[in-house]
Amino acid sequence: MLVWLALPGVLLMSWLVSAILVRRGSDWLLDIPVARSAHQRATPRGGGIAIVVSVYSFLFILVSQGYLGLFQFSVLMCALPVAATGFADDIRSLSVKVRLPVQLLAAFVALALLGPVPEPFFSGFIELPYVLMSALLMLALVWLLNLYNFMDGIDTLAAGQCLFVSGAAAFLLPDSQSALAWVCIGLFLSTLGFFLWNLPPARLFMGDVGSTFLGFFLGLLGLLSHYDGSLSVWVWVLLMGVFIADTTYTLLRRWLSGHSVTLGHSTHAYQHLARRLASHSRVAIVLTGVNLVWLFPLAWLATVYPEYGVVLAFSGIVPLMLAAAALGAGTDTGVTGVAETKDQA
């Protein structure tokens, strides 16, 4: 009963923390637009802290009521150092030499807690030694949190993607794994509270504390569900397919073209699309349509036929990479300073 009563409280807590940041964040968390920014006015960032505080408050309630085991809670707690580092980066820009070791250590601890990866991980196509598989997953977790950060460039995109992934996962998870479904519901409501302040024209930005945390937290949820056999990790890959396809193709294209992949840019497919449509809202609607019409049905198929998870994941993501290429992802074509949109004040 307490868990059900806590649900509106999670939403309200996220909304209230976001409201405080909107009111007070301009003093110390102000995001000043630069040439590659998609906004034109200074806006408080760090709104992701509202998501972090709310979702972990809900996790404590789940543990206290016996809905979530201490083992699962411990694994999910590994995202907290990532969030703390992201928040510090929002307040005062941190060097990658500080951020990356924390991210790698958090991924290492999470995988150490999880233990050997259940096979077949790659749907039986490939089997890798434990050490190699663990190293691969550690890099994948760090890549996931960073690609989520890269995709947080226009209003509602990163928050909207989390709403889709957490909502879809809660729907797809079987009743036998209600613990993870509850976590997904808590994450959905925590993100929704912030999302209401991030609607165009955004009054609050997620910041690194939100984007890196969400990427890592969703990765941990995917691994937990794969380890307990409730949802294959490839289902999660499909649900996050828009972000994975855009960032992977964009950075690969820039690297092959001789550009630095560590410097900021505005050449992602979603950024090109925002310039073409002149609206953050329209981009969000288009990507939501892709999620619902293309990726969700494939993710559902991957739950019904987990042995084809890898094939379905590639089948879903490769066409999105081709779409990113068609939009000019990774190139400077059409990039002319600030991405002006009708949504921005």
Within the chain, residue ranges assigned H as helices are 2-24, 48-64, 70-77, 80-91, 96-114, 130-150, 157-172, 178-198, 207-227, 233-239, 241-256, 269-277, 280-290, 296-304, 309-326
Please tell me the distance from the alpha carbon of residue 153 to that of residue 307, in angstroms, as a whole number. Answer: 35
Classify burial at 335, counting beta carbons within 10 Å of its beta carbon; exposed 0-12, middle 13-18, buried 19 or more: middle
Whether pTM > 0.85 for this model: the answer is: yes
Q: Provide DSSP, 26-93.
A: GGT-EE---TT-S-SS-EE--THHHHHHHHHHHHHHHHHTTSS-HHHHHHHHTTHHHHHHHHHHHHSP
Please tell me the distance from the alpha carbon of residue 100 to that of residue 91, in angstroms, as a whole number. Answer: 17
The token pair at 139 is 């890099």
C-alpha distances (whole Å) from 308 to each of 122, 172, 302 are 9, 17, 7
The token pair at 160 is 């909207």
The pLDDT score that the predictor gives to residue 339 is 43
Q: What is the pLDDT along the chain (345 residues), one digit of tens a residue?
A: 789 999 999 999 999 999 999 988 666 676 665 555 555 567 899 999 999 999 999 999 999 999 999 999 999 999 999 999 999 999 988 999 999 999 999 999 999 999 988 877 776 677 788 889 999 999 999 999 999 999 998 999 999 999 999 999 999 998 767 899 999 999 999 999 999 999 999 999 999 999 999 999 999 999 999 999 899 999 999 999 999 999 999 999 999 998 877 777 889 999 999 999 999 999 999 999 999 999 999 999 999 999 899 999 999 999 999 999 999 999 987 555 434 444 433
The pLDDT score that the predictor gives to residue 265 is 85
Residues 6+ apart with CB under 8 A from 300: 172
The token pair at 175 is 């009743």
Biggest alpha carbon–alpha carbon distance for the chain: 57
* Contact predicate 283/268, CB 8 Å: no
Quick one: which of 198, 328, 238 has its CA closest to 274? 328
* Contact predicate 295/234, CB 8 Å: no
b/e code 222-257 from CB counts within 10 Å (16+ = b): bbbbbbeebbbbbbbbbbbbbbbbbbbbbbebbeee
The pLDDT score that the predictor gives to residue 344 is 39
The pLDDT score that the predictor gives to residue 338 is 39
The pLDDT score that the predictor gives to residue 176 is 67
The pLDDT score that the predictor gives to residue 37 is 53
